[in-house]
Structure 1
Amino acid sequence: MKCIVGLGNPGKRYKDTRHNVGFMAIDELIRRNHWELDKSKFNGNYTVEHIGNEKVILLQPQTFMNLSGESIKPLMNYYNIDVEDVLVIYDDLDLPAGKIRLRQKGGHGGHNGIRSTIDHLGTKEFKRIRIGVGRPVKPIPVVDYVLGNFSEEEQADIAISIKNSADACEMWLKKPFLEVMNEYNS
């Protein structure tokens, strides 16, 4: 069993913000496979589905970004999911809008959702898809920027990165993550 987690903030206010690209990637997987997040437990909304022979859980923590690990760890414990079978999708200021970067492990890079995940899992060794949201052009606080909506110019690029992230997730359910990294990081 594999678990794909999209990080974001719950509620309509945050729906289309930069910080919610992880939720958007999960929404894309849900849409294209005609699924729904039909379970609510572990401070998250999730579904248990199959793609080919692989059983997969898609999770959107409802704890708010900074407490994401409080949802991920209990779900992993309940379903007995190993950390090597977890993939976390989240926003990254250091990548331009429209770019994605896959990693097998790493630090939090100042991202509080990843910091919480590392703290609760007790390891930095989990798979990630970083979706670029770029840095603000105007001098505004980072918090205001990531909780803001995409500009019209960014929307097409973000749509591509969401599609590519969902494609990478589906590929990971069939192939080793290293192959997926080689495909999408090139």
Structure 2
Amino acid sequence: MFRMRPADAGDRDGVAAMVEARAGWMRSRGMRVFDGAAETIAEQAGDPDFPVWVLEEDSTVVGCTTVFEDSPAWAFTEHERAQPALFLASTWTLPTDGRRLGHVIARWALDHAARTGATAVRRGAFEAGLARYYCEVQGWTLLREVERRGRTGYIMTRPAQYQPGLPVVAPVSG
């Protein structure tokens, strides 16, 4: 059973180690990772401006995501932003042997949104292959592509939905 909870400053080392492991995995496969990713994401743990949640297994951080209650104006219309939705940013997971920790986090987010009154969960990706995976394997719907800082952003959504059988214990709110 996994545990999902709001991160605090005590999680910084665990988050940094997990992100660095994923970044190394990505680099070994020719994927781009921004310099300083592990330090940047770790510093956000416990920062009230960045609502980071950690996924734990046996008290070890195996993933994290940032869950904003506001969707960014650069990606969503005013009408879309007026709807109650969660926006996932900076989702990272420990590389595993097919345990699909990112999928566990996504399912938790859908369930968390449904339990807290949001109608949708949104996310973006800047890698076409990752966006394809989210849509084809995890069931996200591509809303649009946008240009952001010289890169193509793939903007996606899914309706909030309870997830029976979710292998995660978590508080309802954070």
What TM-score comes out, normalization by structure 1 length? 0.27
RCO greater where, 1 or 2, for CA within 8 Å and sep 6 or more?
A: 1
Q: Which has the higher helix share?
A: 1
What TM-score comes out, normalization by structure 2 length? 0.29
